Amino acid sequence: MIIEFGHFALVLAVLVAAFQTVVPAYGVYRNDARLMEFGRSAAISQFFLILISFVALMYAYIVSDFSVANVVENSHSTKPLIYRIAGVWGNHEGSMLLWVLIVALFGAAVALFGNNLPKTLQSHVLSVQGAIGLAFVLFIIFTSNPFERIDPAPFDGRGLNPILQDPALAFHPPFLYVGYVGFSMAFSFAIAALIEGRIDAAWARWVRPWTLAAWMFLTVGIAMGSWWAYYELGWGGWWFWDPVENASFMPWLAGTALLHSALVMEKREALKVWTILLAILTFSLSLMGAFLVRSGVLTSVHAFAVDPKRGVVILAIMFAFIGGALALFAMRAGELRQGGIFAPISREGGLVLNNILLTVACATVLVGTLYPLALEGMTGDKISVGAPFFNMTFVPLMLPLLLALPFGPFLAWKRGDLLGAAQRLSIAAVVAIVVIVATAAWVQRGPWLAPFAIGLGVFVMMGAVWEIAFRAKAGSVPWGEVVRRARNLPRSVWGTMLAHFGVGLAVIGIAATSAYRVETIVAMKPGDHVETAGYVLTFKESSKGHGPNYQEDIVTLEVTRDGKLVTMLTPSKRLYDAPPMPTTEAGILASWRGDLYAVVGDVQQAGGFAFRIYFNPLVRFIWIGAVIMFIGGGVSLSDRRLRVGAPVRSKRRRTVAA
Partner 1 sequence: MISSGKAISGKVIGGGFWARLARRMLVVLVMAMVALAGPLWEAGPCHALSPDEQLKDAALEARARELSAELRCLVCQNQSIDDSDAPLAKDLRHLVRERLVAGDSNTEVMNFLVQRYGDFVLLKPPFGWHTWLLWLAPALLLIATIAFVVRAMWSQPGAAAASRSQLSKEEEERLAQVLKAAPDEVT
Binding residues for partner 1 restricted to 248-267, rule: CB under 8 A: 265
Burial of 5 (0-12, 13-18, 19+ CB in 10 A): middle
Q: Does 270 bind partner 1 (CB under 8 A)?
A: yes
Q: Is 340 in the site for partner 1 (CB under 8 A)?
A: yes
- Considering the rule CB under 8 A, would residue 320 count as an interface residue with partner 1? no
Nearer to partner 1, 62 or 522 (CB): 522
* Closer of 377 and 534 to partner 1 (Cβ): 377
- Classified as helix, coil or strand, 585 is strand
Torsion of CA 52, 56, 61, 62, to 10 degrees: 80
Q: In terms of CB distance, is 296 or 658 closer to partner 1?
A: 296
- Is residue 377 involved in binding partner 1 (CB under 8 A)? yes
In the stretch 601-620, what mask flags binding to partner 1 with x, by CB under 8 A? xx-xx----xxx--------
DSSP, residue by residue, 535-551: EEEEEEEEEEEEETTEE
How many whole angstroms separate alpha carbon 21 and alpha carbon 324? 15
3-state secondary structure of 413: coil
Between 333 and 624, CB nearer to partner 1: 333
Residue 471 near partner 1 by CB under 8 A: yes
Indicate which single residue of 80, 308, 548, 580 sits in contact with partner 1 (rule: CB under 8 A): 308
| Cβ closest to partner 1, residue 352 vs residue 402 | 352
Q: Which of residues 194-253 bind partner 1 (CB under 8 A)?
A: 233-235, 237, 240-243
The yes or no reply on residue 488 touching partner 1 (CB under 8 A) is: no
Which of 393, 532, 538, 638 binds partner 1 (CB under 8 A)? It is 393
Rounded to the nearest whole angstrom, what is the least distance from the CB of residue 107 to partner 1 in the complex? 26
Out of 381, 475, 479, 592, point to the residue binding partner 1 (CB under 8 A): 381
How far, in Å, CA of 310 to CA of 145, rounded?
Answer: 12
Query: Who's near 339: CB < 8 A, 6+ residues apart?
Result: 268, 269, 270, 272
Residues of this chain, 554-593, that bind partner 1 according to CB under 8 A: 584
Sign of CA dihedral 12, 15, 20, 23: negative
CA distance 485 to 468: 9
- Rounded distance between C-alpha atoms, residue 288 and residue 251, angstroms: 9
516 binds partner 1 (CB under 8 A): no
Measured CA distances, 89 to 55, 95, 315, 327, 596 (Å): 12, 4, 21, 34, 32
Angle ∠(318,324,325) on CA atoms, nearest 5: 95
- Work out the end-to-end distance of the chain between its first and last CA atoms, rounded to an integer number of angstroms: 29
Among positions 36, 101, 134, 353, the unique one binding partner 1 when judged by CB under 8 A: 353
Nearer to partner 1, 297 or 431 (CB): 297
Interface with partner 1, residue 422, by CB under 8 A: no
Question: Residues 273 to 302: which contact partner 1 by CB under 8 A?
Answer: 273-274, 277, 291, 295-301
| Interaction between residue 348 and partner 1 (CB under 8 A) | yes
Q: Which residues from 164-183 bind partner 1, rule CB under 8 A?
A: none
> Binding to partner 1 (CB under 8 A): which residues in 2-31?
none
